[in-house]
Amino acid sequence: LAKTTQPISMDSYEGQEVNITCSHNNIATNDYITWYQQFPSQGPRFIIQGYKTKVTNEVASLFIPADRKSSTLSLPRVSLSDTAVYYCLVGDRGRTDKLIFGTGTRLQVFP
Amino acid sequence: EAGVAQSPRYKIIEKRQSVAFWCNPISGHATLYWYQQILGQGPKLLIQFQNNGVVDDSQLPKDRFSAERLKGVDSTLKIQPAKLEDSAVYLCASSRQGSGQPQHFGDGTRLSIL
């Protein structure tokens, strides 16, 4: 399974757009990219998943360039409640959906 | 729909004692996972069930950890005997059968070993 690299932490202010980039140089052809969000004392929560180009839902957007060696999670107009750890994962969507979590990116949003 | 239920929420035991955690997945979810999350790290998969069969238990320390999902619904994870390094949050997750289904996590059981 591909290894991912993310920044350890990021800071932002309320109302700003936050972009968290994840590197996955060894991503395989069948791998999908999935992002999870985790608040303190809670389990991770699925945010978004994609294979290529751009995916958007009511929470976030996921940008994946043509070579798929990286991806960017975009959170529009963050609020204090977006303070959390964000995990980028890659894995074969067609197999066991086995997830390997890294240490994630700790996002701190300030007022 | 109701989320993944886990109990207890917290547990404190002494080393060498035994402990069990319970998980009730979302109704209709065939796949169930147990993860261990040590403070400051991401969750690590311990075991994955598909209905009542084990799909992956390659990272389960089988000398002290065991898990079962006898009727293909709820599941228990047991540690016997516990070691200090087992202090962590134990998360249960479930997903629908099929490729690409997102996992839904419970809020975990925080285990402290004294």
Please answer yes or no on whether A98 and B56 come within 8 Å at the CB atom.
Answer: yes
A45 interfaces chain B, CB cutoff of 8 Å: yes
DSSP A5: B
Taking residues B79-108, report their average pLDDT: 92
At A26 the pLDDT is 86
Q: Half-sphere exposure (CA, 13 Å, Cβ side) for B51?
A: 2
- Within a domain: residue A3? no
- Within a domain: residue A1? no
| Distance (Å) from the alpha carbon of A77 to chain B's nearest alpha carbon | 25
- Between A and B, how many CB-CB pairs are < 8 A? 56
* Ordered mean pLDDT values, 10 residues apiece, chain A (111 residues): 85 97 89 92 94 93 95 96 94 64 92 96
Domain that holds residue A74: 9-110
Per the DSSP assignment, residues forming a β-bridge with B56 are: B48
Q: Are B60 and B67 in contact (CB under 8 A)?
A: yes
Q: Please give the tally of structural domains in chain A.
A: 1
Taking residues B82-95, report their average pLDDT: 96
Contacts of the segment B56-64: beta carbons below 8 A, 24+ positions apart: B56/A96, B56/A98
- The domains of chain B are located at 5-113
Nearest by CB: B105 against A32, A44, A96? A44
Please answer yes or no on whether A103 and B41 come within 8 Å at the CB atom.
Answer: yes
Choice between B26 and B72, residue whose per-residue pLDDT is larger: B26
At A90 the pLDDT is 86
Alpha helices (runs of H) in chain A, residue ranges in sequence order = none
At A1 the pLDDT is 53
Q: For residues A56 and B84, what is the distance between their CA atoms, to the nearest angstrom? A: 43
At B88 the pLDDT is 97
Architecture (CATH level 2) of domain B5-113: Sandwich (2.60)
- Within a domain: residue A48? yes
- Within a domain: residue A2? no
CATH code, domain carrying A66: 2.60.40.10
Q: Which of residues 61-90 of B touch A (CB under 8 A)?
A: none
Alpha-carbon separation of residue B100 from A39, A51, A97, B103 (angstroms): 23, 11, 7, 9
User: Which of A83-97, B3-17, B50-64, B77-91 shows the lowest mean pLDDT across its residues?
Assistant: A83-97
